[in-house]
Structure 1
Amino acid sequence: MSKQDKFRQQVKSFYNVIVVSFVLVLIIGVLGITYMMDPSAFSFKGDTPNSEVISTTREDDDWDKIENGIHLRTGFKDGEGLMTVVNNCTNCHSAQLVIQNRMSEERWIETIRWMQKTQNLWDLGPNEKIIVNYLVTNYPPKSKGRREALTNIEWFPLEE
């Protein structure tokens, strides 16, 4: 076998490895995207008669349970309009984004308008008043200019 034939065979083997690798990456990518879109497509619950079926209903998960005045799933404070806020605000972002922003009524309304203009937030209709009232009542602006003083700290002496 000539050097040229050996070289061609090596190039062909390398090409085959590259093609197989590309196909594997493509298949894994498609499976990953499919899983992200519908994780239940990869679920094997109920395939056999004796397999345990795990319920994912909201009632079983205490979906909207409130403990110590806090909605467990979102961390929102319990109050009038809570579920309207949960149903409208947490469709697009986490509740933590709402909780960390403390604003006046005017600023909450400005923020809603901004989301409607730039983030495709739908018209809230009569729910807007309920949402703004809930947010102003439970997440008003803080008047503190600095962070609170640290308390309950265990200090360790530094040796020189």
Structure 2
Amino acid sequence: MDNSENVRKAIKQVSRLMAVIFMAFVIIAGMLVYLMVDPTLSAFKSAPSTEEYVSVQESSEEQLSEEDFDKIENGIHVRTGLLEAEGLMEVVNNCTNCHSAKLVTQNRMNKERWIATIRWMQETQNLWDLGNNEEIIVNYLVTNYPVKKKGRREILSNIEWYELQE
């Protein structure tokens, strides 16, 4: 190799190193600006205390009148959005005490997976023994929120493919 080729390689390596250093500088500067502009959005913000969460939850429940608390409209439980069917109130009373009904309905599972999930919650999340309600709850969920057969999106169909021109 001649000397000019070595110089070109050295220049290329130095320019790559400078690009990496520049990108690191941009990232660090961006993080500093972010923290200076609005420190309340920083990753170091602590989670709300249990008392704050409970008071927010209680105030939103106070807005519902006593008669509207378990109201059903058009086959939907108004407060939770769950479908009206056998086992609805068991699900409302046992599942929505700890988490949103949306969390329940988005996890469409078969009977075995629901039972395994309930066991996991009992072992790790302090879920109480559901007793006879367990079968009612699982049947409600499997019947009204069954596993979906399709994936994230439907398979593409009726597509006219073309070749890109070079």
Aligned to 2:84: 78
Q: Describe the shift of the 1:148–1:76 C-alpha distance in structure 2 as closer, same or farther (beyond 3 A).
A: farther
Instruction: Find the counterpart in structure 2 of residue 46 from structure 1.
Output: none
Q: Could you state the TM-score of these two structures normalised by the residue count of structure 1?
A: 0.57
Q: Quote the residue 2:124 is aligned against.
A: 118
Which stretch shifts more, 111-120 or 63-72?
63-72
With normalisation by structure 2, the TM-score equals: 0.55
Deviations 1:70-108 (A, max 9, x none): 111101111000000000000100000001010000000
Matched-pair identity in %? 71
**Aligned-pair Cα RMSD in Å:** 3.0
Aligned position for 1:69: 75
Structure 2 CA distance for partners of 1:35 and 1:98, relative to 1, 3 Å: closer
Matches within 5 A, 1:1-160: 36=52, 57-59=65-67, 62-148=68-154
Give the secondary-structure state (helix, strand or coil) at the position aligned to 2:149.
Answer: coil
Distance 1:56 1:97 in 2: 22
Structure 1 gaps of 5+ residues are 1-31, 40-53, 150-160
Q: What is the CA–CA distance in structure 2 between the aligned matches of 1:34 and 1:120, rounded to whole Å? A: 16
CA distance in 2, matches of 1:69, 1:144: 25
Cα pair distance change 1:144/1:56, threshold 3 Å? closer
Deviation at 1:34, TM superposition (A): 10
Give 4+ residue runs of structure 1 displaced > 2 Å after superposition: 32-39, 54-57
Instruction: Compute the displacement of 1:64 (Å).
Output: 1.1
In the TM superposition, residue 65 of structure 1 has moved relative to its aligned partner by 1.3
Q: CA deviation at 1:37?
A: 7.6
What are the ranges of 5 or more consecutive residues in structure 2 without an aligned counterpart?
1-47, 56-61, 156-166
